[in-house]
Structure 1
Amino acid sequence: MSSQPVPILMYHAVAHAPAAATRELSVAPDSFAEQMEVLAAGGFTPVTTARLAASWRSGRPLPSRPVLITFDDGYEGVHGHALPALARHDFTATVFITTGWLRGAYDTGGALDTMLDWPQVKELAHAGLEIGGHSHTHPQLDQLSEDALRFELLRCREILADETGGAPHSFAYPYGYSDAAVRRLVRATGYGQALAVGNRLARRRQGPYALQRLTVRRTTGIEEFARCVEGSGVARTFAKDRALTKGYALVRRTRKLRRKAGLTRV
């Protein structure tokens, strides 16, 4: 069975003028189109999250240069700007939806920028993109009680099944945060695989519920992007991110333990 590492790219908004809260993690439409050109010229073949996980479980082969293109939250620019660039190359992707942030009947407020509406989500699915879950209200899942966590996972799953006609197979952790309890419940509620962040190439040994992704930002230059998808620039580009992630993981574990001990207010 192949242990070939795979770059999984994590995008958020694709917009000319993003809201301040999403600017760092947004990508300009022209930059996104140029990045897709790099993938096409490099002979990469995008696959969905579900296909990658199924291949690593079963041993079925992947294309010689697989890549995953993923979008978190469900910003409107995924339909307005990213979809045409993907279609130009016959590329697929996975869009992870925060169901309570989308425009429509389930809107709970809290969205950081203009979001997709449900007809647009259906158009993305019809175009061959995988629609995955990203919770209902985008909390830090590893800080929730079991009941609150179960609600976030099941409500998201139920809405996506109702709106798209099929329950989602894949999940992405909001903020990339998870722990063993979160991963167990993600699996128990019916998701077959889940993505973290990590800023490393994805490998089979990470397991289907902790596959790691590479963050694409507004400041990601085209040469840096090309090095990262080839695997040669990952360690240098994301060294600071990894250090911050490790430190904040310790802070979150401490907070959770203190809450369980009744030392802080939930």
Structure 2
Amino acid sequence: MYHAVGHRPAKAAYGLSVSPDAFAEQMELLDELGFTPVTTAQLGAAWRSKGESLLPGRPVLITFDDGYEGVHRHALPVLAKHGFVSTLFVSTGWLRGAYEVGGALDTMLDWGQVRELAAAGTEIGGHTHTHPQLDQLNDEHLRYETVRCRDVIADELGARPLSFAYPYGYSSRRVRGAVRAAGFAQSLAVGNGLAVRRQGPYALERVTVRRTTGIGEFERLIVGRSVARIFARDRALTKAYAVVRRARRMRGLIQEARG
């Protein structure tokens, strides 16, 4: 899971960014080790049909969240060099253009660039319209965020998106149901673990690539070695924060009931 790719990303996006040189080195390693990237839609279709044989021997997902301009400027040429596909999950209200509502952390893609990425083999998936914490929204707002995102992408690209990623990785059974009801066939969380079938199509995990991820650590992540150790602190904090988030949501429901 990538976010921004750039030499000097904005401070707010820095920790979850990678430098163009680091990204190029990481893609070179994937190629050398014989990995074959697939899109999220390809993975979902293969697993739903129980057709692992439809996947290459060493499949990997390369995903980008939010829609930062550096994905087009820096990542696309590297992906093209290796013949790699990827999935870009866009927050449609953050992208530059007619639907923009603001709130983005750095320079974002415009829709012309998104179309160029799609033409180059990048799957374009949904990441809501305004990038909220979905599990804290009421049902009406939750539906708006998923459906609005879906419809904007369909209007711009001529086809409905098939895949979705939860902002911040936050979801719940209610959120996953809303994503499914909006017509998305699969969705990605974070989890900082490897994606396996038992997670189900709407809670597939990914590992985070950060500015501080060296090439040695990157190799350990992609071969599935030491993932639990590398992200032990993140996973512990995520579990603890989940309890806080459930309590916060319950308080919100009580306040709504009181009118």
User: What corresponds to 1:262 in structure 2?
Assistant: 255
Following TM superposition, by how much is the alpha carbon of 1:122 offset from its aligned partner in structure 2, in angstroms? 0.2
User: What corresponds to 1:104 in structure 2?
Assistant: 97
Distance in 2 (alpha carbons) for counterparts of 1:148 and 1:214: 28
Distance in 2 (alpha carbons) for counterparts of 1:33 and 1:265: 54
Matched, 1:21 2:12: yes
RMSD between superposed Cα atoms in Å:
1.3
Distance in 2 (alpha carbons) for counterparts of 1:157 and 1:201: 27
**Deviation readout 1:121-141 (Å, 9 max, x if unpaired):** 000000011000000000000
**Unaligned segments of structure 1, at least 5 residues:** 1-9
User: What corresponds to 1:133 in structure 2?
Assistant: 126
Q: Which amino acid aligns with 1:21?
A: A
User: What corresponds to 2:196 in structure 1?
Assistant: 203
Following TM superposition, by how much is the alpha carbon of 1:261 offset from its aligned partner in structure 2, in angstroms? 1.6
Pair 1:247–1:128, CA change in 2 (3 A): same
Matched, 1:49 2:30: no
Give the structure-2-normalised TM-score: 0.97
User: What corresponds to 1:221 in structure 2?
Assistant: 214
User: What corresponds to 1:91 in structure 2?
Assistant: 84
**Deviation readout 1:131-156 (Å, 9 max, x if unpaired):** 00000000000000000000000110
**SS at the partner of 2:190?**
strand
**Deviation readout 1:95-122 (Å, 9 max, x if unpaired):** 0000000011111010100000000000
Check whether the contact 1:49–1:94 (CA below 8 A) recurs between aligned residues.
yes
Following TM superposition, by how much is the alpha carbon of 1:233 offset from its aligned partner in structure 2, in angstroms? 2.0
Q: Which amino acid aligns with 2:83?
A: D
User: What corresponds to 2:111 in structure 1?
Assistant: 118
Matched, 1:40 2:28: no
Distance in 2 (alpha carbons) for counterparts of 1:119 and 1:265: 46
Distance in 1 (alpha carbons) for counterparts of 2:202 and 2:132: 18
User: What corresponds to 1:82 in structure 2?
Assistant: 75
> How many residue pairs are counted as aligned between the two chains?
257
**SS at the partner of 1:16?**
coil
User: What corresponds to 2:239 in structure 1?
Assistant: 246
Pair 1:263–1:190, CA change in 2 (3 A): closer
Distance in 2 (alpha carbons) for counterparts of 1:263 and 1:193: 31
Following TM superposition, by how much is the alpha carbon of 1:258 offset from its aligned partner in structure 2, in angstroms? 1.3
Identity of aligned residues (%): 68
User: What corresponds to 1:5 in structure 2?
Assistant: none
Distance in 2 (alpha carbons) for counterparts of 1:149 and 1:59: 31
Give the structure-1-normalised TM-score: 0.95
